[in-house]
Amino acid sequence: MFVSHNLVAVEGLCSRAILLNAGKLAYDDGVKETLTEYMGAISTTTLEILGERKDRSGNGRLRLVSYSLADENGDPINVVSPGQDITIKIKYEAKELLKKVNIAFNLYEYEYEGQVLLNFNTEDIGKEFAKLNHSGEFRCRIPYFPLKNGIYFGNLFCTENGSVADWIRPGLQIVVESHDLYGTGRLISQSKFITKYDWNLE
């Protein structure tokens, strides 16, 4: 029996997989079917509880209440493919009209929280929001998602006029599926990051 959260290893070594939830059998099927069930379940769980989280910091003038993922057409998705054009939507609620708001999230592997792989911060790109209504939705578009298959977590962080309004650790997770990005029948194994490239001989 092989027990692991390493989806690539499970997919490569096993022909059948079971999913446990709180020590009880939750799903039993082929490897691909079970992995799909697993990835969908963890994404849904995080989405549902974000607004109810108590383990958060900040002055509470703004609360991040939910997040979701969408593909390039705006259709909702639960998992991401390497290289995919995606948008991360983060809904908020505020007690009053706010000014000078910045929002950020990073991405890391859970066991390596201190090693940030990516950071998406409105301050870094000069996109501070001058005014915010009582509720709305932040949207961050990533035209080419650069991480290979795995489960990535992110801390959500929002400031208003320089003060921390809401900070949730971790606040979101993104599941990236295995994908034959280059059409070779092989999966990327030596790097966390992916990009498009080509080789030629002259």
**Domain boundaries, given as residue ranges, for the chain:** 55-176
Asked if the model's pLDDT at residue 53 lies above 90, the reply is no
d(CA 33, CA 187): 19
**Residues whose CB is less than 8 angstroms from the CB of residue 7 and which lie 6 or more positions away in sequence, other chains included:** 35, 38, 39, 149, 150, 151, 178
Percentage of the chain beyond pLDDT 70 is 89
pLDDT digit string, tens, across residues 152-183: 999 999 999 999 999 998 899 999 998 888 88
Closest CA to 35 of 187, 179, 177: 177
Asked if the model's pLDDT at residue 41 lies above 70, the reply is no
Tell which wins on pLDDT, 161 or 190. Answer: 161
The mean pLDDT value for 35-58 works out to 73
Percentage of the chain beyond pLDDT 90 is 55
Asked if the model's pLDDT at residue 114 lies above 80, the reply is no
Q: Is residue 104 a contact partner of residue 69, using CB atoms and an 8 Å limit? A: no
**Residues whose CB is less than 8 angstroms from the CB of residue 171 and which lie 6 or more positions away in sequence, other chains included:** 50, 53, 64, 67, 105, 154, 155, 156
- So what's the architecture of 55-176 in CATH? Distorted Sandwich (2.70)
Q: At residue 131, what are phi and psi to the nearest 5 degrees? A: -140, 145
pLDDT the model gives residue 155? 94
pLDDT digit string, tens, across residues 120-144: 999 999 999 999 999 999 999 999 9
The mean pLDDT value for 94-114 works out to 88
Closest CA to 172 of 121, 105, 111, 115: 105
Which amino acid is residue 69, in one-letter code? L
Report the mean per-residue pLDDT for the chain.
Answer: 87
d(CA 72, CA 52): 29
d(CA 121, CA 45): 25
